[in-house]
Amino acid sequence: MIRFEHGKYDFNNNVDFCVGTGRMGLALQQNYLEQLALVQKEIGFQYIRGHGLFSDDMSIYHEYENEDGEIRIEYNFTYLDLVMDAYLQRNIRPFIELGFMPNALSSGEQTIFYWKGNTTPPKDYEKWQQLIQATLRHLIDRYGLEEVITWPIEVWNEPNLAGFWENADREEYFKLFKMSFLAIKEIDRRFQVGGPAICGVDDVSWLQDFLEFCQKEALAIDTVTRHLYTIDNPEKQGRYSYVTLRDPVECVDELKTSREIIDSFNEFKHLPMHITEFNTSYSPDSPIHDTNQNAAYIAGLLAQLGETSASYSYWTFGDVFEEFGVPFTPFHGGFGLVANGNIPKPTFWTFVFFKKLKGACVYKGEDAIFVETKDGGFRGVIWNTSEQVLKKSILLPERNQSFFFMEKRVDQEVCNPLRVWHEMGEPSSLTTDQKELLRSAASPLILTKELSIEQTSIELPVLPHGVTYVECYPIKRKSDRGFNYQKINEVHIIHER
Amino acid sequence: MIRFEHGKYDFNNNVDFCVGTGRMGLALQQNYLEQLALVQKEIGFQYIRGHGLFSDDMSIYHEYENEDGEIRIEYNFTYLDLVMDAYLQRNIRPFIELGFMPNALSSGEQTIFYWKGNTTPPKDYEKWQQLIQATLRHLIDRYGLEEVITWPIEVWNEPNLAGFWENADREEYFKLFKMSFLAIKEIDRRFQVGGPAICGVDDVSWLQDFLEFCQKEALAIDTVTRHLYTIDNPEKQGRYSYVTLRDPVECVDELKTSREIIDSFNEFKHLPMHITEFNTSYSPDSPIHDTNQNAAYIAGLLAQLGETSASYSYWTFGDVFEEFGVPFTPFHGGFGLVANGNIPKPTFWTFVFFKKLKGACVYKGEDAIFVETKDGGFRGVIWNTSEQVLKKSILLPERNQSFFFMEKRVDQEVCNPLRVWHEMGEPSSLTTDQKELLRSAASPLILTKELSIEQTSIELPVLPHGVTYVECYPIKRKSDRGFNYQKINEVHIIHER
Amino acid sequence: MIRFEHGKYDFNNNVDFCVGTGRMGLALQQNYLEQLALVQKEIGFQYIRGHGLFSDDMSIYHEYENEDGEIRIEYNFTYLDLVMDAYLQRNIRPFIELGFMPNALSSGEQTIFYWKGNTTPPKDYEKWQQLIQATLRHLIDRYGLEEVITWPIEVWNEPNLAGFWENADREEYFKLFKMSFLAIKEIDRRFQVGGPAICGVDDVSWLQDFLEFCQKEALAIDTVTRHLYTIDNPEKQGRYSYVTLRDPVECVDELKTSREIIDSFNEFKHLPMHITEFNTSYSPDSPIHDTNQNAAYIAGLLAQLGETSASYSYWTFGDVFEEFGVPFTPFHGGFGLVANGNIPKPTFWTFVFFKKLKGACVYKGEDAIFVETKDGGFRGVIWNTSEQVLKKSILLPERNQSFFFMEKRVDQEVCNPLRVWHEMGEPSSLTTDQKELLRSAASPLILTKELSIEQTSIELPVLPHGVTYVECYPIKRKSDRGFNYQKINEVHIIHER
Amino acid sequence: MIRFEHGKYDFNNNVDFCVGTGRMGLALQQNYLEQLALVQKEIGFQYIRGHGLFSDDMSIYHEYENEDGEIRIEYNFTYLDLVMDAYLQRNIRPFIELGFMPNALSSGEQTIFYWKGNTTPPKDYEKWQQLIQATLRHLIDRYGLEEVITWPIEVWNEPNLAGFWENADREEYFKLFKMSFLAIKEIDRRFQVGGPAICGVDDVSWLQDFLEFCQKEALAIDTVTRHLYTIDNPEKQGRYSYVTLRDPVECVDELKTSREIIDSFNEFKHLPMHITEFNTSYSPDSPIHDTNQNAAYIAGLLAQLGETSASYSYWTFGDVFEEFGVPFTPFHGGFGLVANGNIPKPTFWTFVFFKKLKGACVYKGEDAIFVETKDGGFRGVIWNTSEQVLKKSILLPERNQSFFFMEKRVDQEVCNPLRVWHEMGEPSSLTTDQKELLRSAASPLILTKELSIEQTSIELPVLPHGVTYVECYPIKRKSDRGFNYQKINEVHIIHER
pLDDT tens per residue across span B82-126: 999 999 999 999 999 999 999 999 999 999 999 999 999 999 999
The pLDDT assigned to B496 comes to 60
Partners of A47 in the beta sheet? A18, A93
For the cut 60, the answer to whether the pLDDT of residue A349 exceeds it is yes
The pLDDT assigned to A278 comes to 98
Cβ distance of B237 and A437 shorter than 8 Å: no
Considering only CA atoms, which of B339, B221, B229, B231 is closest in space to residue B278?
B229
CA C467 – CA D109 distance, rounded (Å): 64
Residues of A in contact with B293 (CB under 8 A): 491
For the cut 90, the answer to whether the pLDDT of residue A491 exceeds it is no
What one-letter code names the amino acid at A158? E
Residues of C in contact with D339 (CB under 8 A): none
Of D154, D158, D277, D323, which one is the catalytic site residue?
Answer: D158
Cβ distance of A488 and B246 shorter than 8 Å: no
CA distance B134 to chain D (A): 15
In Å, how far are C116, D51, D74 from D96, measured between CA atoms?
64, 9, 21
- Distance from the Cα of residue A210 to its chain's centroid: 25
Helix (H, G, I), strand (E, B) or coil at D117: strand
CA distance C74 to chain A (A): 9
Mean pLDDT score of chain D, rounded to an integer? Answer: 96
Mean pLDDT score of chain A, rounded to an integer? Answer: 96
Give the contacts of C101 (CB within 8 A, at least 6 positions apart): C54, C107, C117, C118, C119, C120, C121, C122
Tens digits of residue pLDDT in C131-166: 999 999 999 999 999 999 999 999 999 999 999 999
Rg (CA), chain A: 25
Tens digits of residue pLDDT in C210-240: 999 999 999 999 999 999 999 988 999 999 9
Helix (H, G, I), strand (E, B) or coil at D17: coil
Residue B481 at interface with chain D, using a CB cutoff of 8 Å: yes
What one-letter code names the amino acid at A369? I
Counting DSSP H helices and E strands in chain B, the numbers are: 12, 26
49-78 in chain C: CB under 8 A from chain B: 59, 74, 76-78
Instruction: Order across the sheet with D493-494: list the strands.
Output: C231-237, C240-246, D493-494
Report phi then psi at B242, rounded to 5.
-105, 135
Residues of C in contact with A64 (CB under 8 A): 481
Confidence of residue A454 (pLDDT cuts 50, 70, 90): very high
The stretches in chain B having pLDDT less than 70 are 496-497
The pLDDT assigned to D497 comes to 54
Q: What is the dihedral of CA D230, D232, D235, D241, to 10 degrees?
A: 10
At the topology level, CATH places domain C18-355 in: TIM Barrel (3.20.20)
CA B292 – CA A78 distance, rounded (Å): 56
Residue of D nearest to B66 (CA): D481
CA A109 – CA A112 distance, rounded (Å): 10
The pLDDT assigned to A492 comes to 75
Q: Where are the alpha helices (DSSP H) in B4-92?
A: 30-42, 78-89
Residue of D nearest to A327 (CA): D78
Helix (H, G, I), strand (E, B) or coil at A218: coil
For the cut 70, the answer to whether the pLDDT of residue D467 exceeds it is yes
CA B312 – CA B276 distance, rounded (Å): 6
State the chains in contact with D (3 or more Cβ–Cβ pairs under 8 Å).
A, B, C
Partners of D451 in the beta sheet? D403
Assembly ipTM: 0.95
Give the pairing type, strands C223-229 and C193-198: parallel
Taking phi over 0 as left and psi of -120 to 50 as alpha, with beta for the rest, D23 belongs to: beta
Report phi then psi at A21, rounded to 5.
-150, 155
The pLDDT assigned to A493 comes to 79
Residues of B in contact with D482 (CB under 8 A): none
CATH number of D360-474: 2.60.40.1500
The pLDDT assigned to A494 comes to 77
Residues of B in contact with A301 (CB under 8 A): none
Tens digits of residue pLDDT in A198-226: 999 999 999 999 999 999 999 999 999 99
Cβ distance of C489 and D291 shorter than 8 Å: yes
Tens digits of residue pLDDT in D478-496: 899 999 999 998 877 777 5
Residues of A in contact with D116 (CB under 8 A): none
CA distance A478 to chain C (A): 13
CA C246 – CA C269 distance, rounded (Å): 29
Cβ distance of C59 and B29 shorter than 8 Å: no
For chain A, give percent helix, strand, coil, nearest 5. 30, 25, 40
Cβ distance of D492 and C425 shorter than 8 Å: no
- D251, containing H or E segment: helix D248-263
Do you know the residue count of chain D? 497
Give the pairing type, strands C223-229 and C273-279: parallel
Question: How many of the other CB atoms lie within 10 Å of CB of D34?
Answer: 16
Residue of C nearest to D329 (CA): C480
The pLDDT assigned to D494 comes to 77
Confidence of residue A490 (pLDDT cuts 50, 70, 90): confident
CA distance B363 to chain A (A): 23
CA B220 – CA B189 distance, rounded (Å): 10
CA A376 – CA B398 distance, rounded (Å): 58
Query: pTM of the predicted model, to two decimals?
Result: 0.96
Of D28, D79, D326, the CB nearest to A78: D326
Helix (H, G, I), strand (E, B) or coil at D339: strand
Question: How many of the other CB atoms lie within 10 Å of CB of C190?
Answer: 12
CA A403 – CA A474 distance, rounded (Å): 4
162-201 in chain B: CB under 8 A from chain A: none
The pLDDT assigned to A497 comes to 53
Give the contacts of C174 (CB within 8 A, at least 6 positions apart): C209, C210, C213
Of B97, B154, B158, B254, which one is the catalytic site residue?
Answer: B158
408-437 in chain D: CB under 8 A from chain C: 413-414, 418-420, 422-426, 428, 437
For the cut 60, the answer to whether the pLDDT of residue C457 exceeds it is yes
Cβ distance of A493 and B418 shorter than 8 Å: no
Q: In chain C, what's the furthest Cα-to-Cα distance?
A: 104
CB B342 within 8 A of CB B34: yes
Give the contacts of D393 (CB within 8 A, at least 6 positions apart): D1, D2, D457, D458, D459, D460
Residues of chain D with pLDDT > 70, as a percent, come to 100
Residue of D nearest to C450 (CA): D423
CA A429 – CA A330 distance, rounded (Å): 8
Residue of B nearest to D76 (CA): B480
Cβ distance of D428 and A327 shorter than 8 Å: no
Residue B185 CB-half CA count within 13 A:
15
State the chains in contact with C (3 or more Cβ–Cβ pairs under 8 Å).
A, B, D
Do you know the residue count of chain B? 497
Instruction: Order across the sheet with A493-494: list the strands.
Output: A493-494, B240-246, B231-237
How many beta-carbon contacts under 8 Å exist across A and C?
4
Of C158, C277, C407, C471, which one is the catalytic site residue?
Answer: C158
Q: From the candidates C23, C24, C26, C30, which should be mutated to test the interface with B, based on the most B CB atoms within 10 A?
A: C30
Partners of B371 in the beta sheet? B361, B379
Give the contacts of C333 (CB within 8 A, at least 6 positions apart): C240, C241, C281, C283, C284, C285, C286, C287, C288, C289, C290
Q: Where are the domains of chain C?
A: 18-355, 360-474
Of C78, C142, C325, the CB nearest to B327: C78
Helix (H, G, I), strand (E, B) or coil at B30: helix
In Å, how far are C165, D113, D253, D304 from D301, measured between CA atoms?
70, 28, 12, 5
Q: From the candidates D480, D481, D486, D487, which should be mutated to test the interface with C, based on the most C CB atoms within 10 A?
A: D480
The pLDDT assigned to B407 comes to 97
The pLDDT assigned to D349 comes to 98
Report phi then psi at B65, rounded to 5.
-100, 125
The pLDDT assigned to C134 comes to 98
The pLDDT assigned to A43 comes to 98
Residues of B in contact with C36 (CB under 8 A): none
State the chains in contact with B (3 or more Cβ–Cβ pairs under 8 Å).
A, C, D
Considering only CA atoms, which of A44, A48, A144 is closest in space to residue A95?
A48
Residues of D in contact with A325 (CB under 8 A): 59
Confidence of residue D83 (pLDDT cuts 50, 70, 90): very high
Cβ distance of A328 and B291 shorter than 8 Å: no
Residues of chain D with pLDDT > 90, as a percent, come to 96
Residue of D nearest to A114 (CA): D57
CA C366 – CA C249 distance, rounded (Å): 10
Residue predicted with more confidence, D1 or C427: C427
CB C180 within 8 A of CB C98: yes
